Structure 1
């Protein structure tokens, strides 16, 4: 995947924590630490969005649809 350089402004305390992680070899460099933090946050936001969308579903209706689908398909399943 291609990468692009960007400039960011970051609090000194946060940068000090990142530098400490780099010194401890948790990350190879500042860029890697920040990139992984951003990716983790984006993934968390995606999971939250999925959870919010799932919460909108009608559980009774979804259960009925699942049960209906299972009862129709079970007749066609081979017996072992």
Structure 2
């Protein structure tokens, strides 16, 4: 994936923690550590958002729709 250089501002404590992880060879450099942290956070955000959207479903209504679809599908297939 192509990368783009950006400038960011971090709290000193966060940068010290990132530098510690790089020094301990957990990450090859600051960029990789920060990139993975952002990616992890985005994945969690998307997952949380999907869970919140799923909570909006009416289970009984979804079941009814699914059953109606199965009945209609079975009616359209020819018997052999």
Paired residues in the alignment total 76
CA offsets, 1:25-59, max 9 Å, x none?
Answer: 11110000000011111111111111111111111
Q: With the length of structure 2 as denominator, give the TM-score of the two structures.
A: 0.79
Let me know the Cα RMSD of the aligned residues. 1.8
Gaps of 5+ in 1: none
Distance of 2:65 and 2:2 partners within structure 1? 44
1:64: Cα distance to partner? 2.5
Gaps of 5+ in 2: none
Secondary structure at 1:9's aligned position in 2?
coil
Q: With the length of structure 1 as denominator, give the TM-score of the two structures.
A: 0.79
Distance of 2:42 and 2:60 partners within structure 1? 31
CA offsets, 1:49-78, max 9 Å, x none?
Answer: 11111111111111223344456768x8xx
Distance of 2:22 and 2:72 partners within structure 1? 57
